[in-house]
Amino acid sequence: MELKLIIHNIGFILSAVSTITALFFLVLNNPRAKGHIPLALTFLAVTIFILSHVLGVNAIDPEVSRFILMFNLSILFIGMFNVHAVLSTLGKDREKWYILCFLYSLGIILVLWFMKYPHLFLESSTPKMYFPNYYVPGVLNWIRVVFLYGFCVAYMLYELTISYLKEENVYRKRQLKYLTIAYAWGYLLGYIPNFLVYDVQIDPLWGMAFMVIFAALFLYAAIKYGLMNIKVVAKQASIYGLV
């Protein structure tokens, strides 16, 4: 196994550990608090994405690789749950109910559609760079990028930025600042593995830190500024995450 592939695998597994740590952090900190449940579901969907990515690109058989990588449909759930979490955190989930209805309806329809016609999402995997097998996009694979980044990420950052600019409470403003930075960096780095999907020769290795950075910024804001009314149980969450 090539050294770069080993580093890639270790890096993405560390990202998965970071995601699970953040998940336990939420679960152990009043899971019924506003925004906690959809954010915990976001972290769960991210974990599924990371694990399917690592297993899929290391699979030797092209069809086995494609089957495992089909779990990347969790990307659509990441978008839906994350928008819900942000709106709940901002106290806008009831006001923007129509946005959530649209995203959930469209996301679920797309998941069911691609499950019925998987070749539209992914073709049989093929070796790329140092990977035994890597994604080969189907003709409608681009829809997932538009849904996640064009709709969900853009809308989340818009709502967070507007709320940050309008917020007068300094403490709350700092909470929103770190949350916005965490999402911006997390999704920016998380996009990097997509380049090779479309045969742009950029090493996916650089995207391995996307959840490490997001989790670090999120936990920092949660502990220092009481983000999402979290009580500090970082030690327990870290232990459970590592286990």
Query: In the predicted model, what is the mean pLDDT of residues 68-74?
Result: 95
- Average confidence (pLDDT) over 214-224: 66
Look at residue 36 in the predicted model and tell me its pLDDT. Answer: 75
Instruction: Reply yes or no on whether the pLDDT at 242 is more than 90.
Output: no
- The contacts found for 58-62 with CB under 8 angstroms, 24 or more apart, are 58/5, 58/9, 58/131, 58/132, 58/133, 59/125, 59/132, 59/133, 60/132, 60/133, 61/133, 62/124, 62/125, 62/126, 62/133
DSSP state of 154: H
3-state helix, strand, coil in the chain (%, to 5): 75, 5, 20
- Contact 226/175 with Cβ under 8 angstroms? yes
The answer on pLDDT for 193 being more than 70 is yes
Q: Tell me, what's the pLDDT at 147? A: 96
pLDDT of amino acid 209: 61
Give the other-Cβ count within 10 Å of 14's Cβ: 15
Q: Name the band, by pLDDT with cuts 50, 70 and 90, for residue 239.
A: low
Residue 223 — very low, low, confident or very high, per pLDDT cuts 50/70/90? low
Query: What confidence category does residue 156 fall into, taking pLDDT thresholds of 50, 70 and 90?
Result: very high
**205 pLDDT higher than 80:** no
Contacts of 99 (CB under 8 A, 6+ apart): 83, 87, 155
pLDDT for 88-122, tens place per residue?
888 898 999 999 999 999 999 999 999 999 999 99
CA pseudo-torsion sign 44, 175, 85, 80: negative
Q: What is the CA radius of gyration of the chain?
A: 18
Under the banding of pLDDT at 50, 70 and 90, the label for residue 37 is confident
Which of 27 and 123 is assigned the larger pLDDT? 123
- 121 in Cβ contact with 138 (< 8 Å): yes
Q: Average pLDDT, stretch 161-183?
A: 85
- Alpha helices per DSSP H over 59-199: 62-69, 74-89, 97-116, 142-145, 154-166, 170-190, 193-197
What pTM was computed for the model?
A: 0.83
Distance CA 101, CA 167 (A): 27
Closest C-alpha to 68, from 127, 6, 134 = 134
* pLDDT (tens digit per residue) in 16-31: 877 777 777 777 766 5
**What percent of the chain stands above pLDDT 90?**
44
CA 199, distance to chain mean position in Å, is 22
Higher-scoring residue by pLDDT: 112, 215: 112
Query: Can you tell me the mean pLDDT for 115-140?
Result: 94
Rounded average pLDDT over 52-68: 94
Least confident range from 26-40, 90-104, 152-166, 209-223: namely 209-223
